[in-house]
Amino acid sequence: MYTKKWAIMDFLSLVTDVGFPIAAATVGGYFIFLILRFILDGVLKDIQQQRIFVMALDNRVKTMNNEIIRIDVQLSAAFDLEPDLSRIARADGQKDARKD
């Protein structure tokens, strides 16, 4: 069983082996490592959540673009106008983001 007494004894044996400045720097480095890992774990969770939001917004934009083109073509047909073929061609081949 590993207790506080053994931890203190291990630290003291480290100090006697390498000296206090090196032992203190090692403990300080480990402490900084723990702090950075804690901070980066929190940042990673936030980045993953924002990535999900961006993907959802991208799908909405694609859906809106397809809907606008569809409405444009319907109105052009209803008023006997020439549809904007360049706009339709730009959207041709893009995946529709709707889930219907």
Q: Which two tokens stand for residue 51?
A: 């990535």
Domain range annotation of the chain = 4-91
* pLDDT of res. 97: 53
Q: 75 to each of 34, 70, 81, 86, 88, how far by Cα in Å?
A: 62, 9, 8, 16, 14
* pLDDT of res. 96: 56
Q: Which two tokens stand for residue 96?
A: 């529709």
> What pLDDT band is residue 31 in, cutting at 50, 70 and 90?
very high
- The mean per-residue pLDDT over the stretch 85-100 comes to 68
How many C-beta atoms lie closer than 10 Å to residue 88's C-beta? 14
> What pLDDT band is residue 93 in, cutting at 50, 70 and 90?
low
More confident residue, 74 or 5: 74
Q: How far apart are CA 21 and CA 92, in angstroms?
A: 68
